[in-house]
Amino acid sequence: MPDKGRGAPGPGKRLRKAIKRILWYIKNVPLHQLIKDFAPGAMERYDAREARPFKVAPLPGAPSVADLDPPRSFILVKPFGIPRMDRIRELVETIAGYRILEELAIDDYWSLAHYLFDGHMKMYLGRPYPEAEIWYAILAKKNPACFNRGLVWLLDSCPAPELSKLKVLVRKRVGVGFYRVHDCQYSSITCITPIHTPDEARSADEWDIIMRFASRSASFSSAGSS
């Protein structure tokens, strides 16, 4: 049932969101993937009623990696990007020409995401579950070995606008995950992306949050299902 206190979006708002989403697809997604995934009946389906809240750890009181001068240029490799991280690294270093100075591990990605992406913790399309819970459940089912893992790559100097272009390049070359989410009342599409880069206005805040969850633990293999 719809979330109490929040009605479903009206036709005008739905139309604006649909147009915005289509423009995002055109900018960020390879054409061959759009053709393949949006063919009738081709997109993988997920029952939203399987979504469950994930446990969120308290925000650590101090950075776990405290010897780095903030803020740095960084890329956050999300759980969807972990099986693809060798290709992503190639794009960053060989194609885009940036040097990865250090790699940090994220061992509790979804607690980090709770604080970093607060907009996706809100109710999903007026329904009583946040979109992040949908992503969590999909990734836990598809790749349980690394669904809660992430990486932070610290780069040599890379201005925020260039980081944004790099993010689009990775999405275009690596692809994203499209899933048709449904329950007994509605059907819609969600999209899971491989990396995150900070907006200039939030760079310092995001750096502070990420450094509270990052560690210099050993790196892990990119092996895993897609």
* Cα distance between residue 161 and residue 170, in whole Å: 15
CA 162 to CA 218: how far, in whole Å?
29
pTM score, two decimals? 0.86
pLDDT band with cut points at 50, 70 and 90 for residue 68: confident
Count each helix (H run) and each strand (E run) in the chain, helices first: 7, 8
pLDDT at 11 over 80: no
Structure tokens at 170: 């990775």
How far apart CA 226 and CA 205 sit, in angstroms, is 31
Q: Helical H runs in the chain?
A: 11-28, 31-37, 85-90, 109-116, 131-142, 160-174, 203-213
Amino acid at 76: L
Residue with tokens 């604006």: 16
- Per residue in 103-134, pLDDT tens? 999 999 999 999 998 765 665 555 667 888 88
* Domain annotation for the chain: domains and CATH numbers: 11-215 (3.30.70.141)
In this predicted model, what pLDDT tens digit does every residue of 33-43 receive, in sequence order?
A: 999 999 999 99
CA-nearest of 186, 177, 17 to 82 is: 177
Under the banding of pLDDT at 50, 70 and 90, the label for residue 24 is very high
Model confidence pLDDT, tens digit, residues 154-197: 998 788 889 999 999 999 999 999 999 888 777 888 999 999 99
Helix (H, G, I), strand (E, B) or coil at 77: strand
Higher per-residue confidence, 47 vs 88: 88
Lowest mean pLDDT segment, chosen from 8-12, 46-50, 75-79, 198-202: 8-12
Rg of the chain (C-alpha set): 18
Distance CA 195, CA 100 (A): 15
The pLDDT of residue 2 is: 35
